[in-house]
Amino acid sequence: MRPRPSAINTWIAVLSGGGVLHGERETEGAVAASRIVGEQRLSQLRAWLEVQTEEDVADIRSAAIELCMWMAVADRVIDPRERELLADIVRSSGLTSAEETRLLTLLPAALSDVRRLPHVETLAERLDHPVLRELMLALVWHVARADGYVDALEGTSYERLAAIFGVEHDVAMAISDVLATPSTS
């Protein structure tokens, strides 16, 4: 069974919240994450996140969302499905209402001027755990596919992000393939 796309939207809060699962959607999201990086590596990420300060976890969550926005504006067009997906990711993030509002306001501003987003290299510094980086590749690929089509700019942006993250090309391609492959569990 392939996880519902909305299940992946819960990763930011579930993984940085110590893996607390509140419902079916969060459980599906955790299963999808495990398919991508494996349960052992996912556990390592959760352990790393558990020792981070609340402020650091909030910064990781915000950086993850800003990275998703970076991918959404890569092709300079944000489809309504991409907007809905990003809004769901923000609402599922567990961030404060002030930060949610900031991020929801940032999206249209970034579309008109991408310089309003932090540089992707800056976001990579904030998302500095190797397992988190692989899951972020999956999440941005999910954002790129939200409108049913990945154009050349999104594909190039994905490859650039993988290189910035230090993820081998073959691994990056395998990550994108996992999201397109139905689960056998």
Give residue-wise pLDDT tens across range 130-144.
999 999 999 999 899
Segments making up each domain of the chain, as ranges = 5-180
pTM: 0.86
183 — phi, psi (to 5°)? Answer: -75, 150
31 — phi, psi (to 5°)? Answer: -65, -45
The alpha helices in the chain, defined as continuous H runs, are 5-8, 11-16, 24-37, 39-50, 54-72, 80-91, 97-112, 120-126, 130-145, 152-165, 169-180
What does CATH list as the number for 5-180? 1.10.3680.10
Give residue-wise pLDDT tens across range 147-175.
888 999 999 999 999 999 999 999 999 99
